[in-house]
Amino acid sequence: MATSALEYGHATAAKRSVLVEWLTTVDHKKIGIMYGASAFIFFLIGGLEALVIRTQLMRPDNHLVTPDFYNQLFTMHGTTMIFLAVMPISAMFFNFFVPLLIGARDVAFPRLNAMSLWIFILGGLFLNFSFLLGAAPNGGWFGYAPLSSRMYAPGHNMDFWVIGLQILGVASLAAGVNFFTTILNMRARGMTLMRMPIFVWAVLVTQVLVLLSFPVITVALIYLMLDRTFGTSFFNLTANGDPMLWQHLFWVFGHPEVYILILPAFGIVSEILPVFARKPLFGYSAMVFSMAFIAFLGFGVWSHHMFATGMGPLADSFFSLATMLIAIPTGVKIFNWIGTLWGGSLQFKTPLYFALGFIAMFIMGGLSGVIHAVAPADLQQTDSYFVVAHFHYVLFGGSIFSLTAGAYYWWPKMFGKLLDEGLGKAHFWVMLAGFNLTFFPMHFVGLLGMPRRIYSYPAGLGFDTLNLLSTVGAFLLGSSFLIFSYNIIKTWRSGAQAPADPWNGATLEWSIPSPPQEWNFAVEPIVTEKDPLWGLKRAAGVKVLPEPPRVSGEGIHLPAPSWWPLIVSVGFLTFLVGIMVKHASAFPFGPISIAGFAITLYGIYKWAYEPVDGHAPTT
Amino acid sequence: MTTAALDLHAHDAGAHHTSMPVPSRKLAMWVFIASECMFFATLISTFVIYRDSHAKGPGPKDVFGVPLVTAGTAVLLFSSFFVVMALNGAQQGDRKKLLRWLSLTVLCGVFFVGMQVYEFTHFVTEKHLGYTTNLFASSFYTLTGFHGTHVAVGTLWLATLLKDAWKGRIPPAKALNLEIAALYWHFVDVVWIIIFPVVYLMSLGR
């Protein structure tokens, strides 16, 4: 790689304005930062929606918001947290760290990577733009047809949802192809598959799930769009359409999606625990195979979301058993995490706090999950707050705790400054307390019979105190992120400069300066074992390697920046918006969609013929 | 650190080192194809579920004509062979061979899309099978329409490469450009080989 052809002049690069530089960048680190920044903003918006929901449910017979706006709130809260927060925050880590962890200078397709970012950002803005029109999606994050068909959901609300998800799906699929190829093909010399950092394995398995599950929701969304826009009857009961088809297609995607949200979190925690326990990950290969097994089983359990539809005893038994099987590889992972900690010399830094919080909270979410696997029990719990408690324990207690751990762990590498430890620990304790106060009472209120997605409830059903507790907890939980935001600002202004290797890390990213230079590795690393940096330190007989010098980068070749990823993304968005706006007329494509199509096609051609020299085409 | 454990897959082929013995762009196309399999699997399953839903309007036996579609199938099958010959020409640096077989491939693509346009028009105007007439129609048109779109995209792609080849821009070192397009083309062909029996023959033979 070091000797390939293209080098874009750093003199010209210096002349570009900062804005142009970020709009045209193909650097995986800048793209990662943009993923993280935009996803954090969406995360705060989704959190704000949650706080309004909790305020509405604070006391019985409350009328803070209208019922329809309440529907918009919970739909957008779910959609935002899944597609605009957890997935892209994970994508931030994929982007920034996969190339660093495997010893590469960039991803396999840098421009495609930029396109994924822009499509994601535009899709997120598009979805949230609906609030300004007072027409945010209101049919739930699962968009059950025919409730989401035009007959029951007139107006543009669900159009925004259908088109928005379609846009975001394209971003995920493009990133899936990119990262799968990057991990298989861009590893440093000597880094065999079984020497890869465990986080990279988690990303690889996640991309397999993305690649095989997103096409299914793509087709389901196409059907729903056709039903809504062109008058087909795929899910229309009166014309022999089958609403069960939507549920099956949605959950064939939806359940793997759950693992798309949690596997990267597994990977991050599995990176953090060894570093802060000062011993290698316990049972590395068991961890790898259990992730693969979870992904495999993840495609055979979708109907446990549909026990209440009456599929019959055979299907119910099959999906019950398959779901219970997943507890086995998951249990393997939990025991291996504990095994990693066992006998270790624990360094109680903030990342470890969050990682331990993850293990405890995820176990609780996992236990209520096993209860749901029993079909008869699930019939009592389905669509109640018990389910809300369960999936927040795995998605917030699991994914968000782990992603936060990752943020504290990798912040010094990304920005060259260490987040404040005291504030970090305050963040942890407030978040842990707020989280449990919010969601633990939901188990009880659910078993008492409170349905989810309900706008209000009458007094005297035993829901009152528990809901009030949840609301107080939610505000506590929200305030923990104010502490985090303050920590970020404080660190930005006056944080301690981070050394290259602040935690005594085991993986390649800690061998280069913080933040990394544009080309990542001045010399391409050669890997001869797992935990390569620990091996290097052991061989040198030192605890900390000398600070790596910042080099000039003379003669290092990087892919050139490009406008086309952004232009293609804008064209694609325009095309789909055109279809949405045009829905009333007989001919599906109006001038807007035709213009969008033309921009996309033109952009793809310019992209294909743009001279890239160095990067891909010669291999 | 032991030095004996160097990865044997890492080959020294100069400029670009890849961990697997396959170029990244080709690997990416295989990955994309895996994803597309799920896309078409979903469309085909839906058709199988809905092919008997034609209480209103015509059903499969009223509209499907085997000879025309068989011709289309044959053309698509041959085009897979043609593109292999074109690739062979590109790899050998035989410009004439490349141009000859690649033009034939593009022609096949155009013929297939034309066949489908004719078929759809015929169904709509003569057989009164509109897009929303019944669910058999909707799922049939959606499935074959998306396949046809894939053929159209492939034809456009191969035509672009034909223009490149005409200008002498596909020397043997760049034959990979054609190989990747050919990989996609074979995939689109394979999907049709499933659609032809499942959609046409099995709907008629029941």
ipTM of this predicted structure:
0.93
Segments forming the whole domain that contains residue A318: 10-609
pLDDT in tens, A7-31: 444 444 456 689 999 999 999 999 9
Q: How far apart are CA A357 and CA B145, in angstroms?
A: 50
Segments forming the whole domain that contains residue B189: 24-48+80-204
Confidence of residue A557 (pLDDT cuts 50, 70, 90): confident
Q: Note the pLDDT of residue A525.
A: 93
Contact A226 B138 (CB under 8 A): yes
- In a domain, residue B7? The reply is no
What CATH number did the domain enclosing A411 receive?
1.20.210.10
Number of domains in chain B: 1
pLDDT in tens, A576-616: 988 887 665 556 678 888 999 999 999 999 999 987 654 43
Per CB-CB distance under 8 Å, the chain A contacts of B187 are none
Distance of CA B65 to the CA centre of its chain: 22
Mean pLDDT score, A497-512: 95
Partner-chain residue, chosen from A1, A190, A618, that has the shortest CB–CB distance to B6: A190
Mean pLDDT score, A151-175: 94
Lowest mean pLDDT among A451-460, A483-492, A546-555: A546-555
Percent of chain A with pLDDT over 70: 95
pLDDT(A161) > 50:
yes
- In a domain, residue A4? The reply is no
Lowest mean pLDDT among A236-240, A315-319, A353-357, B81-85: A236-240
pLDDT(A113) > 60:
yes
Q: How far apart are CA A588 and CA A550, in angstroms?
A: 56
pLDDT in tens, A80-95: 999 999 999 999 999 9
Number of domains in chain A: 1
- In a domain, residue A3? The reply is no
Q: How far apart are CA A406 and CA A435, in angstroms?
A: 18
Query: Which of A211, A190, A201, A339 is closest to A273 using CA atoms?
Result: A339
- In a domain, residue A158? The reply is yes
- In a domain, residue A447? The reply is yes
> Distance, in angstroms, between B32 CA and closest chain A CA?
6
Give B 34-63 residues with CB within 8 A of chain A: 34-36, 38-39, 42-43, 46, 49-50, 53, 55-56
Residues forming beta bridges with residue A526, ordered by sequence position: A189
pLDDT in tens, B34-58: 999 999 999 999 999 999 999 889 9
Q: Would an 8 Å CB–CB cutoff place A190 in contact with chain B?
A: yes
Q: Note the pLDDT of residue A584.
A: 55
Percent of chain B with pLDDT over 90: 87
What CATH number did the domain enclosing B29 receive?
1.20.120.80
- In a domain, residue A335? The reply is yes
pLDDT in tens, A421-437: 999 999 999 999 999 99
Helices assigned H by DSSP within A196-312:
198-230, 243-277, 284-298
> Distance, in angstroms, between B72 CA and closest chain A CA?
25
- In a domain, residue A614? The reply is no
> Distance, in angstroms, between A1 CA and closest chain B CA?
5
Q: Across chain A, what does the average pLDDT equal?
A: 93
Lowest mean pLDDT among A255-264, A443-452, A579-588, B63-72: A579-588
Q: Note the pLDDT of residue A551.
A: 85
**Helix H or strand E encompassing A307:** none
- In a domain, residue A5? The reply is no
Q: Across chain B, what does the average pLDDT equal?
A: 91
User: Within 10 Å of residue A185's Cβ, how many Cβ atoms?
Assistant: 24
pLDDT(A366) > 50:
yes
- In a domain, residue B68? The reply is no
- In a domain, residue B56? The reply is no
Q: How far apart are CA B39 and CA B31, in angstroms?
A: 13
Report the sign of the C-alpha dihedral through residues B112, B118, B121, B126, in that order: negative
Q: Would an 8 Å CB–CB cutoff place A214 in contact with chain B?
A: yes
pLDDT(B14) > 90:
no
Partner-chain residue, chosen from B3, B27, B36, that has the shortest CB–CB distance to A185: B27
Q: Note the pLDDT of residue A11.
A: 40
Report the sign of the C-alpha dihedral through residues B89, B93, B94, B98, in that order: positive
Q: Note the pLDDT of residue A583.
A: 60
Looking at chain B, which residue has its C-alpha nearest residue A2? B15
Q: Would an 8 Å CB–CB cutoff place B15 in contact with chain A?
A: yes
Q: Would an 8 Å CB–CB cutoff place B132 in contact with chain A?
A: yes
Looking at chain A, which residue has its C-alpha nearest residue B27? A181
- In a domain, residue A441? The reply is yes
